[in-house]
Amino acid sequence: MAILEVNDVNKAFGGLKALNAVNLSVEEGTVHAIIGPNGAGKSTLLNCFVGRLIPDTGSVMFNGQSLLGIKPHKINQTGVARVFQTPEIFTDLSILENVMIPAFAKVDGSFRINAWKTVGTRGEVRDMAEKVLEEVGLHEKRDIIASSLSRGDKRRLEMAMCLVQDPKLLLLDEPTAGMSRADTNNTVDLLQRVGTHITKIVIEHDMHVVFSLADHISVLAQGTVIAGGKPEDIKGNPKVQEAYLGGAHA
Amino acid sequence: MMFAGLSRNDKLLFAGFTIAALAMPLLAWPVGANYPDLLQKFAIYGIFAIGFNILFGLTGYLSFGHAAFLGVGSYAAVWMFKGVTMNVIPAVIFGVMVSGMFAALIGFVSLRRSGIYFSILTLAFAQMSYNLAYSVLTPITNGETGLQLRQDDARILDRMFVEQSEGLPSTNLFGLEMSGYPGFYFCCVLLIIAFFIALRIQRSPFGMMLRAIKTNQVRMNYTGFNTRPYALTAFIISGMYAGLAGSLLAVTDPLAGAERMQWTASGEVVLMTILGGAGTLVGPILGAGLIKYFENIFSSYNDGLLAESFSFLPDFLNDALVFVIGPFVGEGWSLLLGIVFMAIVIFLPGGLMEGLARIHGWYRRRGQGDAGRNVAKQAAE
Amino acid sequence: MDVILLQLLNGLDKGGAYALIALGLTIIFGTLGVVNFAHGALFMLGAFCAVSVQALLTISKKVKDESIKFFDAYKEIPYLEAWWGDTGATIIDYAVPISILIAIPLMLLIGLGMERGLIRYFYKRPHAEQILVTFGLAIVVQELIKAQFGANPIPTPAPEVIAGSANVGLWVGLGESVVYPWWRLIYLAFAGVVIALAFAFLNLTTYGMVVRAGMADRETVGLLGINIQRRFTIVFGMAAVIAGLAGVMYTPILPPDYHMGMDFLVLSFVVVVVGGMGSLGGAVLAGFMLGILQSFASMNEVKSILPGIDQIIIYLIAVVILLVRPRGLLGRKGVMES
- pLDDT at position C39: 92
Nearest to A135 by CA among A209, A191, A210: A191
From A147-156, B218-227, C101-110, C304-313, the region with the lowest mean pLDDT: C304-313
Whole-angstrom distance, CA of residue A141 vs CA of residue A96: 8
Sorting pLDDT into bands at 50, 70 and 90, what band is B373? very low
This complex has an ipTM of: 0.85
Whole-angstrom distance, CA of residue A94 vs CA of residue B106: 33
Quote the CATH superfamily of domain A1-79+169-186+198-250: P-loop containing nucleotide triphosphate hydrolases (3.40.50.300)
Chain B residues touching residue C143 (CB < 8 angstroms): 332, 334-335, 338
- Chain B and chain C share a number of CB contacts under 8 A equal to 118
Instruction: Report CB contact under 8 Å: B267, C140.
Output: no
Question: Is B125's Cβ below 8 Å from some Cβ in C?
Answer: yes
- Chain A and chain B share a number of CB contacts under 8 A equal to 108
Q: Which chains touch C (3 or more CB pairs under 8 A)?
A: B
The answer on pLDDT for C333 being more than 60 is: no
Chain A residues touching residue B225 (CB < 8 angstroms): 73, 105, 110-111
Indicate the pTM of the whole model: 0.87
Q: From chain C, which residues contact B within 8 Å (Cβ)?
A: 35, 121, 125, 127-129, 131-133, 135-137, 139-140, 142-144, 146-147, 262, 266, 269-270, 272-273, 277, 307-309, 311-312, 315, 318-319, 322-323, 326, 336-338
Mean pLDDT of A149-167: 88
Q: How far is B7 from chain A (nearest CA, A)?
A: 8
Q: How far is A243 from chain B (nearest CA, A)?
A: 33
For chain A, what are the domain ranges? 1-79+169-186+198-250, 85-166
- pLDDT at position A114: 76
Alpha-carbon distances, residue A98 vs A87, A94, B242 (angstroms): 12, 6, 31
What are the helix (H) ranges across chain B? Answer: 8-22, 24-28, 36-53, 66-83, 88-110, 115-131, 138-141, 156-161, 180-203, 205-215, 217-222, 227-252, 263-276, 283-299, 303-309, 315-325, 333-347, 351-368, 371-380
Indicate the residue type of A245: L
Selecting from C131, C269, C322 the residue whose C-beta is nearest the C-beta of B109 gives C322
Which of the residue ranges A37-46, B82-91, C271-280 has the most confident prediction, judged by mean pLDDT?
A: B82-91
List pLDDT tens digits, range C31-65: 777 888 999 999 999 999 888 888 887 777 777 77
Mean pLDDT for chain C overall: 81
- pLDDT at position B375: 47
Nearest to A79 by CA among A197, A162, A156: A162
Selecting from B111, B114, B124 the residue whose C-beta is nearest the C-beta of C315 gives B124
Q: From chain B, which residues contact A within 8 Å (Cβ)?
A: 4-7, 200-201, 203-209, 211-212, 214-216, 218-227, 229-230, 233, 374
The answer on pLDDT for B377 being more than 70 is: no
The answer on pLDDT for B372 being more than 50 is: no
Chain B residues touching residue A90 (CB < 8 angstroms): 211-212, 215-216, 219
Instruction: Report CB contact under 8 Å: B338, C319.
Output: no
Mean pLDDT of C156-179: 70
Outline where DSSP puts E strands in C40-109.
60-64, 74-78
The answer on pLDDT for A246 being more than 70 is: no
Q: How far is B101 from chain C (nearest CA, A)?
A: 17
Chain A residues touching residue B374 (CB < 8 angstroms): 143-145
Chain C residues touching residue B128 (CB < 8 angstroms): 311-312, 315
Residues 49-68 of B with CB under 8 A from C: 60, 62, 64
- pLDDT at position C175: 64
From A165-179, B25-39, C152-166, C194-208, the region with the lowest mean pLDDT: C152-166
From A6-10, B167-171, B283-287, the region with the lowest mean pLDDT: B167-171
Mean pLDDT of B224-240: 93
Indicate the residue type of C320: V
Indicate the residue type of C150: G
Domain that holds residue B54: 21-263
Selecting from C139, C312, C337 the residue whose C-beta is nearest the C-beta of B341 gives C139
Nearest to C18 by CA among C241, C264, C309, C315: C264
Q: Return the exposure string of A158-193: e unless at least 16 CB atoms fall within 10 Å of the residue's CB, then b.
A: bbbbbbbbebbbbbbbbbbbebeeebbbbbbebbee
Question: Residue C180 forms beta bridges with which residues?
Answer: C166
The answer on pLDDT for B191 being more than 90 is: yes
The answer on pLDDT for C277 being more than 80 is: no
- pLDDT at position C174: 64
Longest dimension (CA), chain A: 62
The answer on pLDDT for A54 being more than 70 is: yes
Instruction: Report CB contact under 8 Å: B5, A104.
Output: no
**Does C210 or C240 have the greater pLDDT score?**
C240
Question: Is A120's Cβ below 8 Å from some Cβ in B?
Answer: yes
Instruction: Report CB contact under 8 Å: B135, C132.
Output: no
With a pLDDT cut of 70, the percent of chain C lying above it is 91
- pLDDT at position C73: 72
For chain C, what are the domain ranges? 2-51+100-324
**Does C70 or B204 have the greater pLDDT score?**
B204
Chain B residues touching residue C35 (CB < 8 angstroms): 116, 119-120
Selecting from B208, B221, B374 the residue whose C-beta is nearest the C-beta of A119 gives B208
- pLDDT at position A245: 60
Whole-angstrom distance, CA of residue B332 vs CA of residue C143: 7
The phi and psi torsions of A54 (rounded to 5 degrees) equal -110, 120
Q: In terms of CA atoms, which chain B residue is nearest residue C309?
A: B136
Pick the CATH number of A85-166 from 3.40.50.970, 3.30.565.10, 3.40.50.300, 3.40.50.2300: 3.40.50.300
Q: How far is A42 from chain B (nearest CA, A)?
A: 19
Selecting from C140, C147, C273 the residue whose C-beta is nearest the C-beta of B117 gives C273
List pLDDT tens digits, range C151-163: 888 887 777 776 7
From B159-168, B203-212, C268-277, the region with the lowest mean pLDDT: B159-168
Mean pLDDT of A109-113: 81
List pLDDT tens digits, range C188-204: 888 889 889 888 888 88
List pLDDT tens digits, range B103-147: 999 999 888 877 788 888 888 888 888 888 887 787 887 877 788
The answer on pLDDT for C82 being more than 80 is: no
Residue B235 lies in a domain: yes
The answer on pLDDT for B245 being more than 80 is: yes
- pLDDT at position C100: 87
Q: Return the exposure string of C101-114: e unless at least 16 CB atoms fall within 10 Å of the residue's CB, then b.
A: eebbebbbebbbeb
The answer on pLDDT for B381 being more than 70 is: no
Q: In terms of CA atoms, which chain B residue is nearest residue A126?
A: B205
Domain count along chain B: 1
Residue B368 lies in a domain: no
Chain B residues touching residue C262 (CB < 8 angstroms): 263
Chain A residues touching residue B7 (CB < 8 angstroms): 118, 120
With a pLDDT cut of 90, the percent of chain A lying above it is 6
Mean pLDDT for chain A overall: 84
The answer on pLDDT for B346 being more than 60 is: yes
Please provide the DSSP assignment of A127-169 as one string: HHHHHHHHHHT-GGGTTSBGGGS-HHHHHHHHHHHHHTT--SE
Instruction: Report CB contact under 8 Å: B111, C35.
Output: no
**Does B379 or A72 have the greater pLDDT score?**
A72
CB B47 within 8 A of CB B190: yes
Q: How far is B221 from chain A (nearest CA, A)?
A: 5
Chain B residues touching residue A115 (CB < 8 angstroms): 200-201, 204, 206-207
Q: In terms of CA atoms, which chain A residue is nearest residue B229?
A: A111
Question: Is B363's Cβ below 8 Å from some Cβ in C?
Answer: no
Instruction: Report CB contact under 8 Å: B223, A116.
Output: no
Q: Which positions ≥6 away from A64 have C-beta within 8 Å?
A: none
From B200-209, B319-328, C17-26, C89-98, the region with the lowest mean pLDDT: B319-328
- pLDDT at position B1: 58
- Residue of C121, C134, C135, C312 to mutate for B, most B C-beta atoms under 10 A: C135
- pLDDT at position C337: 37
- pLDDT at position B83: 85
Residues 147-166 of A with CB under 8 A from B: 161, 165
